[in-house]
Amino acid sequence: MKKKRKMKKKYKITFFLVIVLICSIPLFFFLSKENKQKENPTETKDTPVINESAIEKKLKSLNYTKEEISFVLKEVKEENQDILLKEEKEVVLPIIKETYYIDDYLEKYITYYKENSDLTKKEIITRVNTHIDEPFYTNTIETDTTLGKFVLLNKYYHANETYQGKDLIKVDSQYNLYGSEFYLSKECYHAFLKMYEDALEAGYGFKINSAYRSYESQVKIYQGWVNKDGQTLADTYSARAGFSEHQTGYAFDVRDFPFTNDDYSKTKSFTWVSENAYKYGFIIRFPKDKEYITGYQYEPWHYRYCGEECAKYIHDTGITFEEYYEYFIKYKNPRGLI
């Protein structure tokens, strides 16, 4: 009897040990896995698995570095990324790195570069952004006349005969030459008055020679110059109707007063105005050495109001209003340059 009891007790102990062993197996694997993860922390279940996208793999095969891939995918929108795969890295990457790069024009940049490989990437960007990759007055579009002081009229952007600038007010006759009747945009006029008074206080005098012009008056003015010098030459100094800065109400011409020289750039008042105009929101609209962009001869007497921030940026960087408009106004400063 005692023997049976001992056997029964032995079986119970054995059974208990078997159960404990079975229950310990999952715990063993858990602890083993935990120790392994401690030894290899990068292999935890929370570590994300990073898979390269198809475009990243293709760019890598084209010898783009990791940093370059990150850069171009940030700057080039998805619908343009196929262009990266069709073109040589040595061509497309420097273009994207240029300061005033606009992604909508990537294909145009590359096309124009292939046709003009002697130009630098900076020149390619400038020419495409200002639409001089095509002849002047070609494929023109109607400008956005709601932009106020940022409205652009040139040999690419035009307005129709109904556009009359914004908030035009009559300029007091004391600021005009020849007793003519002139109008300017209210904002432009007030900035002009401040500049005029400060110049006068500093000992420099000038007066307005021309200001706002309607579409109809520009038709007559332009045709008069064409009749005199022919259209090719007239186009270098006179705008066709609808393309004239003067139709905006934000532009005016000046002459020194008292009059001293036909060449305004050689007068004392020009020296002061050209150095200080940006402080009041004005720029020389058709600057020297930028004729290939603006399409007009250098006009030291022609000033355009675009506001103090815009004028200062143009003054400090030496770019044209065309370049400023396309990057900062039309495309809203995509890289946050200012």
Residue matched to tokens 């475009």 = 55
Stretch (H or E) spanning 214: none
What pLDDT was estimated at residue 153? 98
**6 to 1, 11, 20, 65: CA distances (angstroms):** 9, 9, 21, 77
Stretch (H or E) spanning 227: helix 215-229
Tokens of 305: 């109001």
Helices 121-129 and 89-97 meet at what angle, rounded to 10? Answer: 60
Tally of CB atoms within 10 A around 203:
9
Block mean pLDDT (10 aa), the chain, length 338: 48 51 48 50 45 89 96 96 95 98 98 97 98 97 98 98 95 92 97 98 96 98 98 98 98 95 96 98 98 98 98 98 98 96
Number of neighbouring beta carbons within 10 Å of residue 187: 18
CATH for 141-330 is: 3.30.1380.10
Q: What is the pLDDT of residue 84?
A: 95
What pLDDT shows up at residue 52?
Answer: 77
- The pTM of the full predicted model, rounded to 2 decimals, is 0.84
Q: How does 17-39 read in b/e, with b if 16+ C-beta sit within 10 Å?
A: eeeeeeeeeeeeeeeeeeeeeee
Question: How many Å apart are CA 54 and CA 65, to the nearest integer?
Answer: 15
The model's pLDDT over 218-231, given as tens digits with 9 standing for 90+, comes to 999 999 999 999 99
Tokens matching residue 173: 């006759």
Residue type, position 169, single letter: I
